[in-house]
Structure 1
Amino acid sequence: MSQTAHIPSHRKPRRSASKLAFRAGVAGGVFSTIAVAGAAAPANAEPVTEKTLEMPTLGSLDADLASAVSASAEASQQEALDQSLAAQESAALQKAAKDAKKAKAEADRKAEAEKAEKARAEAQERASRTATRTSLSARSSSSDSSSSVATGSAAAIVAFAKAQIGDAYISGGTGPNSWDCSGLVQAAYAQAGIDLPRISSDQSSRGTSVSLSNLQPGDILYWGSRSGSYHVAIYVGGGKYVGAQNPSTGVVERDLDWDPPSGAVRIL
C-alpha cells in the first residue's frame, strides 16, 4: 500500500449518465413550457412593469413645512386682528352707552329745572291773581259803601240786565231770550233811552274811563283794550256784574274776582 492510500480523494465524484439525462429532460421540459406560454400570450399585451414608490425628497419636505408655518402665521394674525376689532367694538359700545346715559341725565335735569320754573311761574301767577281779586273786592266794597244802590237810569239798566239772567248765549243775539255780550249791554242801555253801538269795542270806546276801584252800578266793564275789547258786561253793584258769557253758561251774574275785567267806562 502506498503512503497516500489512506488520504481521502478530493476529486468530485463523476455523475452517472442516467442522472445527467434526467436533468437534461427536466430542463428541456421547463424551457418548452416557457416557450409555449410565450407563444400563447396575446400579441398586444402590455409588458408587465414594476412600479417604483417615489420617496419625498428633502426639498419638498422643506417647502411643505414652510407653507404650513406661513398658514399658521396668517391664522394667528387673523385671530389677533379679530380680537382687536372685537375689543374696539366693545369699547365703542361702552362709550356710546356712557354718552347716552350722560345725555339722559342732562335731559332729565333740564326737564326738572323747567318743571320747577313752571311751578314757580304758576305760583307767582296765582299769587298775583289772588292779590288782584283781593284788591278788586276791597275797591268794590269801598265803592259800594258810597253808591251801592242804583238809582234813575242806572237802576233801569241794572234791573233789565238782571232780568235776563238764565237766558241763552247766541253769537249775534239781541234778545228777547238769547243774547251775546254786546247785544245784552245795548238792550239794557236802551231801557234808559241811551243808544249804544252794537259792537263791544265801540261800546267800550264811549263815555269816560273809570277806575275799577271807583265803579258805580250801570258802568260798562270790558276785557281787552278799551278800543279793542272782545267782551263787555254791566256792573250791577256789590262787587258783581251781569253779562252774556258764553254758550255754556248763557247770561250769568259773577263776582268781579271770578274773571277780573281790564277796565270800565261810565256813560251815564
Structure 2
Amino acid sequence: MSHTAHIPSHRKPRRSASKMAMRAGVAGGVLGTLAVAGASGSANAAEPVTQTLELPTLTADMAVQVAQSAEVTQQAAANYQLQAERDAAAAKAAKQAKADLADAKKKAEAKKKKAEEAAREAAAERASRTAERTTLSASTSTSDSGSGASASVSTGSSTATGSAAAVVSFVKAQVGKAYVSGATGPSAYDCSGLVQTAFKQVGISLPRVSQDQSTAGTQVSLSNLQPGDILYWGGAGSAYHVGVYVGDGMFVGAQNPSTGVVERPLSYDPPSGAVRVL
C-alpha cells in the first residue's frame, strides 16, 4: 500500500461561480420589484386625490337682490301678523256686540214685562174702584130714597193748623215722586206708605196697610172733612186705597205706577169714607 493513499475530504463541494451569480441576480430582481412597488404605494398614500368645486361669485347686484328678497319676506310676515291681529280684534268685537245685544234684549223684555204688569195693576185698581163706587152709589141712592136726604162731599175747612198742617205740607212735598209697591219713601211710596210716613212726621204711628188705616181713627162724614183727614176707598176695614185730604176739595195720594204721587180734586175719584186721627 502506498503511503500516499487518498483520504476522503469532509469539505462541501464548491458551487460554481456562474450559479451563484444567477441566484444573486434573481434575488436582486425580486428585491428591486418590491422596492418599486413600495415606493409607488408610498407615493400614492402621500398624495391623496382631491376634487375642486367652483362656487358662484356673489356680486353686488346679487347681494342687493338677496337683501330685497329678505325685506319683502319680512314685510309679508309683518302683514300676515297684522291681519291676524285685526281678524282677532274683529272676532272679539263681534262677540262682545252679540253679548251686548242679548243683554239689551233681556233688559228690554224685563222692562216691557214690568210695564205690562204695572198697567195690569193699574187697570185692576181702576176696575176695583169703579165697582166700589158703583156699590157705594147704589147704597147711597137707596139710603136717599128712604130718608129723602142727599149725600154730599164737603170741602170742610180749607185751612190746616198744627199737626194737620205739618201732615198736609209733607204730602204736598211728595207730589211727583214715584209709586212703588211696598215703598215708604223717601223717593217712592205706595198709598199706605205715604200716609204712614206723613203721620210719622208728627209723632203718630199708623198701621202699615190701607185696610187697617181705614179704621185707625174716628170715622167722619165726607160732608165734614178737615185737612189732614185720611180718605179711604172701599169699606172701612177692607179699604184698598188711602190718601190725605189737604183742603179746598183736594187730596194727595200715591195713586199707581203710572201717575205716582199726585194731588187731585175729590171729584177725580170720590172716596168711600174718611177717618180723623188728629
TM-score of the pair, normalised by structure 1: 0.48
